[in-house]
Amino acid sequence: MAQVVKRAYKYRFYPTPEQAAELARTFGCARMVYNKALEERTRAYTLEGRKVSYVQSSAALTEWKRTDDLAFLNEVSSVPLQQALRHLQAAFANFFAKRAGYPTFKSRKKSRASAEYTRSAFKYRDGALTLAKMDGPLNIFWSRPLPEGAEPSTVTVSRDAAGRWFVSILCQDAIRPLGPTSNTVGVDAGITALATLSTGEKIVNPRHERADRRKLAKAQRALARMQKGSANRQKAKLKVARVYARICDRRRDFLHKLTTRLVRETQTVVIEDLTVRNMVKNHKLARAISDASWREMRTMLEYKTQWYGRELVVVDRWFPSSKLCSACGILQDEMPLNVRTWECACGAAHDRDVNAAKNILAAGLAER
């Protein structure tokens, strides 16, 4: 039976100067409403021990719009402003449930510029998406089609640090579970190879990445040489953001293909929980990128296995996957990082990463 899931489709788009100005205004107003409501809730909470609800924040927004100082809030679509208040409400709900820290102010420089439009604030017809307060549809680069008969429920517009515009369209989608298989696979996270499978296959980093990383390191060095506050520094910053964004995009694309393939081919995927490792601060570029992709890959595997009726097992104990012989189970005393292949006393010859992946698979299947 098909399962109905909400799925986001993200595309790049190219706004007209008028649309860009309208969106920049909307981002600014949404951020301001969020911050102002946060300030008010904080004041009520610390001074009066009183919790402010979404309804009360929404009523306050109506009042703000009536004052001369804040009348400009009327110039943008009201929906993204309401959505900002909903996000704040969710942030407080997470805080009170101890799932997150106290909500923080959004800054123009550090926060992602975005605005969320619900049903009443956009039109989607014949492949054209038009937002409230705009004359014409957005010029979207449809890298893949929306599913047949898709009914978008929410549209989120954003601009990244590299100055690129994106629209993320949330749709209901029917997903059919895949046919049964009894295959299982263990995945070992790496740095030189992105991942190694217990089948012996090594997943190498995407093509282009080596060159892109060199460009990134070069751009970062250039940025470090620039005077603070200078126009050239601004330019150098944008350059770093662009190269970084390209690396992330290519990675994501690659990870989507890899995780879809793993989920298609196997019933059970076993991975390591690397949160322990991530707590060790390491600013080396290669490690940072590899940790980020590992987190992203785990997230993708989590929802894709769920979508397609497969299983993901996360080995959550810290166990010596590299030091254990997967053939006889004997633990080696030590296994320095530079040892790539080794031979156990039992006679088994191992590739370090394949052996680790096999142990991860065995541990996951045993834990299940």
217 contacts Zn ion (rule: CB under 5 A):
no
Q: Is the dihedral of CA 321, 326, 330, 335 positive or negative?
A: negative
What DSSP letter does each residue of 187-218 carry, written as one string?
A: EEE-SSEEEEETTS-EEEPPTTHHHHHHHHHH
Catalytic: 273?
no
Q: What is the Cα–Cα distance from 168 to 339, expressed in whole angstroms? A: 45
Closest to Zn ion by CB, 276 or 339:
339
- The single residue of 272, 273, 333, 343 carrying the catalytic annotation is 272
Q: Rounded to the nearest whole angstrom, what is the least distance from the CB of residue 272 to Zn ion in the complex?
A: 21
325 contacts Zn ion (rule: CB under 5 A):
yes
Residue 175 burial (C-beta neighbours within 10 Å; 0-12, 13-18, 19+): middle
351 contacts Zn ion (rule: CB under 5 A):
no
Closest to Zn ion by CB, 17 or 347:
347
344 contacts Zn ion (rule: CB under 5 A):
yes
From the list 121-129, 209-217, 294-302, 348-356, the region that binds Zn ion by CB under 5 A is 348-356
Q: Rounded to the nearest whole angstrom, what is the least distance from the CB of residue 10 to Zn ion in the complex?
A: 47
Q: What is the Cα–Cα distance from 215 to 240, expressed in whole angstroms? A: 9
How many residues of this chain bind Zn ion (CB under 5 A)? 6
- The single residue of 22, 173, 188, 209 carrying the catalytic annotation is 188
| Residues 285-324: x where in contact with Zn ion by CB under 5 A, - otherwise, as a string | ----------------------------------------
Catalytic: 272?
yes
- Contacting Zn ion (CB under 5 A), which of 150, 238, 241, 348? 348
Closest to Zn ion by CB, 304 or 358:
358
346 contacts Zn ion (rule: CB under 5 A):
yes
Q: Rounded to the nearest whole angstrom, what is the least distance from the CB of residue 199 to Zn ion in the complex?
A: 19
Q: Rounded to the nearest whole angstrom, what is the least distance from the CB of residue 195 to Zn ion in the complex?
A: 24
Strands (E), 113-192: 113-118, 122-125, 128-131, 140-141, 154-159, 165-175, 184-189
Residue 267 backbone dihedrals phi, psi, to 5 degrees: -85, -40
DSSP annotation of 119: G
Q: What is the Cα–Cα distance from 307 to 7, expressed in whole angstroms? A: 11
Q: What is the Cα–Cα distance from 210 to 208, expressed in whole angstroms? A: 6
Catalytic: 353?
yes
- Contacting Zn ion (CB under 5 A), which of 55, 174, 328, 349? 328
327 contacts Zn ion (rule: CB under 5 A):
yes
Residue 116 backbone dihedrals phi, psi, to 5 degrees: -110, 130
Query: How distant is the alpha carbon of residue 324 from its chain centre?
Result: 33
Closest to Zn ion by CB, 178 or 344:
344
Site residues (CB under 5 A) for Zn ion?
325, 327-328, 344, 346, 348
Give the catalytic positions in this structure.
188, 272, 353
